[in-house]
Structure 1
Amino acid sequence: MSVLTAPSLPTRALDTPRAGGRLRVLDGLRLLAALLVVLFHYLREGGWSDPARTFPVLGPLAQYTWLGVELFFLISGFVICMSAWGRPLRSFVRSRVVRLFPAYWFCVLATGAVLLLPGLPSDHDRPTISQILTNLTMVQSSLGVDDVDHSYWTLWSELRFYLLFAVVAWLGVTRKRVVAFCWVWTVAAVLAPAAGLPVLRLLANPLYAPLFISGIAFYLIRRNGPRQGAPWALLGVNWLLAQHSMIEVAKVYSTDTQRMSWTVCVAAVTAFYLLMAAVALGYLDRVDWRWLTTGGAISYPLYLIHQAVGVHLIHLWREQLPPWAMLLTAVATMLAAAWLIHRFVERPGGALLRRAFG
């Protein structure tokens, strides 16, 4: 498997890829991951009796589009390591707060307001006011409080990753420290299931740690060139752990009538590894279209707002529109909403938080 062994390429050190520090191909992959998750929720929860028959063009593979989350986590490992490089801890924390919270606070309140309206589908429980307020902290999972929108579960995995990587930022991000961090986290993820220590399992996040670690390894290859051995070794070990995790993750998404195939899941995750390898090795640098920057910017608010609100809209309008028109309308509406949130909430809200941090 080519992604797991160092290819024969000229040695070169790559600093942050562009002067602006942005890889537009990653923006495109972010948007792709978000749209995959949107498609999964709308087909599975939209109320169509047989989505595969209603949307035959999408085919049976549409039931696996939840794997967009795995792509998100790979990208997150890459981007967090890239954005933390050369920054002190305070700057790292500020960048995460500014990036995450303005859109999140708005989407929690907007989603909570929609779910309190009459006429909800029967499978949606109305949140309490306390639940909505607790969700504003983004740590509701640790407090045993349900997410206002089920998609928010991934944010708890992200927050634990940021907490762990903050240790590296505190010490100062260097190649040796990042490699050591990745190996320590890999070992912790291996030991956590058998250790019987809830705190270790909580922090190590064994199901998804291999994806975050692999994303970091891909950034090390991007930054320092392909001839270093440690990132490739990390990728090999963590790909093996990731394929094993797919057994448990696939069970979560399986139903009585729809069983997820481990083979399909591993094939998709391997394809994501190959995509990220192509990014790390510079093969996709020509994918540099300006509109991808906007696509990447709206991927986060799209993810936050799409599920509960979008599914509710589908249930309201499903009888008035043909299935394909309904699906495309719902996706287009959520894309427009995500852009509005980015433009009028996320950007000004982020500016306010930056000033508050000083």
Structure 2
Amino acid sequence: MTDSTGTRLPSLTGLRFVAAGMVFGFHASIEGVFADPGTSAAVGQAFSRAGFFGVEFFFVLSGFILTWTARRDDTRRGFWGRRARKIYPNHVVTWAVAILLALWAGQAVGWQVLPNLLLVHAWAPVPEVLNSANIVAWSLACEVLFYALFPVLHAGIRRIRVDRLWWWAGGVVALVFTMPLIAQSLPADPQVPTPGGPMSFYAIWFVYLFPPTRVLEFVLGMFVARIVRDGRWTPPSLGVAGLVAGLAYLAAFTVPYLYCKVAIALVPLALVIASAAAADARGAFSPFRSRGMVWLGEISFAFYLLHWLVLVHGHRLLGTTWGLLGGAAVLALALAVTVLLSWALHVTVERPLTRPKQHTDLPAR
């Protein structure tokens, strides 16, 4: 990953796999591979916020990287073409695999899978549509909106005076924190179980799944990129940023549920992204810059799209539960299989379609 001035940002590539791994941990923790209820509950509790943090990292990173690497001579058609080649081929392949696996498992496949294919399903608060085919693709519906809006958003943000960037960024953060309040005005029924008790499905959808709501995180990433690149802020070390993010994760267990899904992680994750970019720019130490981490980051988009299918259908194929060591071994196997399949998808589908006109603006998960 390189910016328009030639500065490489490999740490951000490596961090992408960390974020994808958090989503994997979340889904693995709810798959129910442990026979002991206490172990299952403890693992589920520990990873219950990990998926939220992982997805939000990607949304903020998208805005940051696209702004950091934006070129003035780029065209909207060229930009949208690169984004489409990055997202849709992998999505179509994993969508088709999800359909085949569902049929193999004896599940009904109806019209609900079509909005998933078109990446418009997150706009509808309809559970059977949101949960169709490859359910993790809901975040791509958000990314599609981000990319559609980026040329206009970037043109506007680029015109903002540098001395006002912090005020705009603060306003975006404030808006994110108001979303749970707005969500409480939505219909209370139907309700779904959450760690904090039953909650309106519509409220959760509005805060976590609705693409226009998630645009705010993307926009904050854009502002942070400008603030750092224009010299308005020197981020702290990656160690300090990581500590803040870790404390935010602990805090996510203490705040109301709607706030733990998005708001509580927003600023800490933006801090991690800014600190990683600054570390690469000045050559400071970063554990995410190694060849192995960068390679894992490069396949992380494919990993994200495949991991849920491997976990769910792999568990269905094996068809049992295990003790602590057995369950951990099964999850480690699922992780290894997902990495191998992700590498294959990246090499055979993603890389050939993006390399001919590759611009290192954003590997999009």
Task: Specify if TM > 0.5.
Answer: yes
Q: 1:93 aligned to 2:80?
A: yes
Contact 1:189 1:209 in 2 (8 A): no
Alpha-carbon spacing, 1:157–1:320, altered in 2? closer, same or farther (3 Å): closer
Cα separation, 2, equivalents of 1:270 and 1:168: 20
Taking the TM superposition and a 5 Å limit, the aligned residue runs for 1:195-234 are: 204-205=212-213, 208-227=214-233
Contact 2:32 2:40 in 1 (8 A): no
Q: CA deviation at 1:227?
A: 4.6
Read off the aligned partner of 2:109 and give its amino acid letter. Answer: P
Q: CA deviation at 1:70?
A: 1.7
Q: CA deviation at 1:132?
A: 3.5
What is the SS of the residue equivalent to 1:306?
Answer: helix
Taking the TM superposition and a 5 Å limit, the aligned residue runs for 1:16-165 are: 16=3, 19=6, 22-48=8-34, 50=36, 53=39, 60-66=45-51, 67-86=53-72, 87-118=74-105, 126-128=108-110, 130-142=111-123, 145-146=129-130, 147-165=132-150
Cα separation, 2, equivalents of 1:61 and 1:36: 11
Question: Identity of counterpart residues, as a percentage?
Answer: 27
Contact 2:116 2:137 in 1 (8 A): no
Alpha-carbon spacing, 1:93–1:83, altered in 2? closer, same or farther (3 Å): farther
Cα separation, 1, equivalents of 2:340 and 2:298: 12
Q: Select which of 322, 327, 333 maps to 1:329.
A: 333
Alpha-carbon spacing, 1:227–1:353, altered in 2? closer, same or farther (3 Å): closer
1:8 equivalent in structure 2: none
What is the SS of the residue equivalent to 1:345?
Answer: helix
Q: Select which of 247, 266, 276 maps to 1:279.
A: 276
Cα separation, 2, equivalents of 1:323 and 1:40: 15
What is the SS of the residue equivalent to 1:37?
Answer: helix
Alpha-carbon spacing, 1:85–1:177, altered in 2? closer, same or farther (3 Å): farther
Q: CA deviation at 1:186?
A: 6.8
Contact 2:123 2:211 in 1 (8 A): no
Alpha-carbon spacing, 1:319–1:183, altered in 2? closer, same or farther (3 Å): closer
Cα separation, 2, equivalents of 1:203 and 1:134: 14
Read off the aligned partner of 1:176 and give its amino acid letter. Answer: I
Q: CA deviation at 1:127?
A: 2.8
Alpha-carbon spacing, 1:249–1:116, altered in 2? closer, same or farther (3 Å): farther
What is the SS of the residue equivalent to 1:226?
Answer: coil
Contact 1:111 1:308 in 2 (8 A): yes
Contact 2:4 2:69 in 1 (8 A): no
2:158 equivalent in structure 1: 174
Read off the aligned partner of 1:127 and give its amino acid letter. Answer: V
Contact 1:77 1:214 in 2 (8 A): yes
TM-score w.r.t. structure 1 length? Answer: 0.69
TM-score w.r.t. structure 2 length? Answer: 0.68
Alpha-carbon spacing, 1:47–1:191, altered in 2? closer, same or farther (3 Å): closer
What is the SS of the residue equivalent to 1:160?
Answer: helix
What is the SS of the residue equivalent to 1:249?
Answer: helix
User: May I ask how many residue pairs the two structures share in their alignment?
Assistant: 305
1:5 equivalent in structure 2: none
What is the SS of the residue equivalent to 1:164?
Answer: helix
Cα separation, 2, equivalents of 1:99 and 1:219: 22
Contact 2:103 2:109 in 1 (8 A): yes
2:311 equivalent in structure 1: 310
1:6 equivalent in structure 2: none
Q: CA deviation at 1:190?
A: 7.8
Contact 1:37 1:65 in 2 (8 A): yes
What is the SS of the residue equivalent to 1:176?
Answer: coil
Cα separation, 1, equivalents of 2:230 and 2:309: 42
Contact 1:40 1:63 in 2 (8 A): yes
